[in-house]
């Protein structure tokens, strides 16, 4: 069993604390005093809204995948030397679909980002109420960690794992597999998107376009998969916090 206080080391046999935590006196102040401004608030409404918007992101990605396939087929015909009005009309249609898909993805991502960050900050504060001493990053990084270059490659994952551990039942160690899978796909999709967009923007010939589109297609597929896994993460974490609050696992003074 993992240590109830630090959530990192194994608890001593027959106890709930590891040897290190057992040798360190616990703070005498109540949890709310250790984390000023931390109040428990229900994440259910925001969690459901976030899941819906993540679903919208996945739908926009699916639309983009269809546009990628159309563009790939048309550019392939152009590479093969196809000419005529029919090919020109298909090329124009592919361009229109591609532009519409880009607009849909951007709109869905912006709307989702706003709601997701509100949800993420709420569950981060709730996690401080559940477990004030098990967080490696300060509360502000729940927002800033997503926008700070370089550290945004791992800070949000670390914060998510701390929230995950704090939101589970005391003494129970939950698998991080779902969070790790989501984060891996998210990072892959970001890198693939940058590479694909750069290749597509530089394409001046049908052959270059034909070579660039598969990169964009891969980015859209991985982004859709990441969005679907993110839905599972959001719903699971929201349920964990809701169930823990219902069990009365927080001081009455901070349950609002």
Whether the model clears a pTM of 0.75, i.e. scores above it, the answer is yes
- What's the rounded mean pLDDT across residues 189-214? 92
pLDDT at 81: 85
- What's the rounded mean pLDDT across residues 175-192? 96
Instruction: For 110-144, write each residue's pLDDT tens digit.
Output: 999 999 999 999 999 999 988 888 788 888 999 99
Phi-psi region of 251 (alpha: psi -120 to 50; beta: other; left: phi over 0): beta
- Kindly tell me if the per-residue pLDDT of 5 is higher than 60: no
Percent of the chain clearing pLDDT 70 (strictly above): 81
Task: Please name which of 251, 253, 233, 244 lies closest in space to residue 42, comparing C-alpha atoms.
Answer: 244
Instruction: Give the mean pLDDT of the chain.
Output: 86
Q: Which residues, in sequence order, are bridge partners of residue 255?
A: 40
Q: Which residues, in sequence order, are bridge partners of residue 40?
A: 255
DSSP calls for 128-197: HHH-TT--SS-TTHHHHHHHSTTGGGTHHHHHHHHHHHHHSPTTPPPP-HHHHHHHHHHHHHHHHHHHHH
pLDDT at 84: 85
């Amino acid at each position: 069993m993992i240590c109830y206080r630090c959530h990192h080391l194994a608890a001593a046999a027959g106890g709930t604390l590891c040897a290190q935590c057992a040798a360190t006196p616990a703070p005498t102040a109540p949890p709310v005093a250790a984390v000023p401004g931390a109040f428990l608030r229900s994440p259910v409404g925001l969690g459901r809204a976030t899941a819906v918007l993540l679903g919208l992101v996945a739908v926009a990605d699916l639309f983009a995948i269809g546009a990628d396939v159309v563009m790939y087929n048309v550019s392939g015909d152009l590479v093969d030397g196809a000419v005529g009005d029919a090919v020109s009309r298909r090329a124009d249609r592919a361009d229109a679909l591609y532009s519409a898909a880009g607009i849909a993805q951007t709109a869905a991502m912006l709307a989702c980002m706003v709601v997701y960050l509100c949800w993420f900050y709420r569950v981060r504060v709730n996690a401080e109420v559940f477990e004030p001493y098990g967080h490696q990053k300060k509360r502000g990084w729940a927002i800033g960690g997503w926008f700070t270059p370089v550290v945004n490659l791992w800070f949000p994952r670390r914060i998510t794992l701390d929230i995950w551990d704090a939101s589970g039942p005391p003494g129970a160690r939950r698998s991080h597999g779902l969070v790790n899978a989501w984060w891996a796909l998210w990072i892959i999709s970001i890198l693939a998107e940058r590479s694909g967009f750069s290749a597509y923007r530089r394409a001046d010939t049908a052959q270059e376009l034909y070579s660039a589109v598969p990169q964009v297609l891969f980015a859209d597929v991985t982004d859709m998969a990441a969005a679907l896994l993110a839905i599972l993460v959001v719903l699971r974490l929201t349920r964990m916090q809701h169930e823990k609050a219902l069990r009365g696992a927080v001081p009455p003074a901070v349950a609002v």
